[in-house]
Structure 1
Amino acid sequence: MQKSIWPALAVVLVLFAISVAMRWDHLPVLSDGHHQWLTAATVKFVDNWLEDGVWAVQFHMLERPASIEFRSLIDRYYYVSYPPGTILPVYLLKLALPHVETLTVVRAWSVANHLAMVLTLFILIHAAFRQQAPRLAGLIAAITAAFYIFHAAPMYWHAMVFFTDQAIILPFTILLALEYFIRVDNGNRRGLLEGLQILLLFFATLTDWLAIPLAMALLLGRLMAPIRTWSFRSATRDGIQIGSGPFVAVAIFLVNVVSVGLLDSLKRRFFFRTGLDNPDAQFTPDFWKITLWDRLDEVTLLIVA
């Protein structure tokens, strides 16, 4: 990092501390609305893992705690819509802080995610502008970070709500930042960055399914704008590098689901969530009409940009 980055970074850290102070009174409280039931789900799954033992339940997320009424695991209702990657870091943090309330641990992890997002954006923007506008790079990066700190959506969602939709934001952003640094690096760090990308794609896929279209987009970008001289070998290498993490993560999840006989349940969830279980819903044509045709002007502008 250049020396000029430190004053701007210090300002960003002070601004983030102010944002935490603004939210401080709300962090220990779990509201009964405003999507905070998602946070409650995270708390529930972590507490169930602590009560049962994560190996005893094979990393499955269970909706109900063990009780006289619900003795077997199948009676406690497996949640198979997502892999358990969202719960794992919170669970490990709770193990390290056993005397801290689970909700407090979840909220602390959420705020830490917000800070990591801010720092990732700051570093990425500073690196992008460092060559073209070295005197303004720190200022531009600080403005970007400040916007993400105090914008209403991240101010609320990062602090108060934490489940898969929120947990994927940080790895998603870091993966894009890694792709940028892989493309601009001409030294020996490219291999290390690609290795980190493999590991993070693996973890991201265990967190939320958004990682799969992201991996597809990264691979498409490599094919359309190769980082090396294009060849079949380099394209295959990129495919393995980007696809191996998601492939292994999905394979592990499917094996775990099959082991408890819930593959049919996962299929039903997939068709329900995608709208494919109702042929009259016209999901596919409506999706493209809403996202492409009705917004053709915006799409065209983005392509030109």
Structure 2
Amino acid sequence: MIKVLGLGDNVVDKYMHIRTMYPGGNALNIAATAQIMGEQAAYLGMFGDDDAGMHVYDTIRKMGIDTLHCRFKKGENGYAEVKLVDGDRTFIGSNQGGVSKEYPLDLTEIDYAYIAQYDLCHTSIFSYTEPYLERLSQMTTFLSMDFSNRYDDEYLKANCPYIDCAAISCGNASKEKVEEEIKKIVSYGCRHIVIATRGSKGAVVYVDGKIYEQSPCLIKAVDTMAAGDSFIASFLIHYLAGMKDVREFPADSGKNGITTISEYKDLCVRSSLYQAAIFASQQCQKDGSFGYGKKF
């Protein structure tokens, strides 16, 4: 079992055309995906005391996600306003994170000790966790961060040296353009993996010097909200689980079958990408990021 912690942003996605709000937010979506996959999941973030914040908090508690170190402030929870066009979600407004932006998490030594228990800690450009990345990189086994499509070079230079995995959203960009972005992120210090999602074009993924391309599992989507988050979480969980207890074969193990870590890693990456593509397509059959809608 992989222990996964989402650190930072949570929101409600307000579907304005049906007046229904769904729990979401990049960091929370990673934790929720882990819980849905049957892993041990936790979330550490800030909640507002309004109806939106209570709905997100109550939902993830019911799901079984650990919320032991969460914070609560008087004010608006983060929200985004959304509309659907043929199943494809489009953002039309937000409050920029609400209390999460207004009140940074201000992590304590007790928080760091708690975070250190997890195999994967995931945060995002929407989480206002940049001041803590250096310390997190020292305390965590594997630190990933989603930059969405909101980053610039200076932001990458400042934050890439502390993370094991960077995730970026590349829309309809060509593979050549995506590979340029990946090389840049690696040159700025990202230590292990870069995941570039491209919607219906699939994903381009870098792992320790090697580029992989994964086609999507195309279906008639009910809602594409958080499809990229689902893909990222599923890939990392499968990959980290597969690599967790790898041991090199003895030098005289022979030449039959898979006998080196590099050969096994290649198989593990490809298998994890395949499973992530399937999982993400399944999540597109749900309303919102992972369901649990409530009228507002």
- Higher relative strand content: 2
Interval of TM-score (by shorter of Structure 1 and Structure 2): under 0.3
Taking structure 1 as the reference length, the TM-score comes to 0.24
Greater Cα radius of gyration, structure 1 or 2: 1
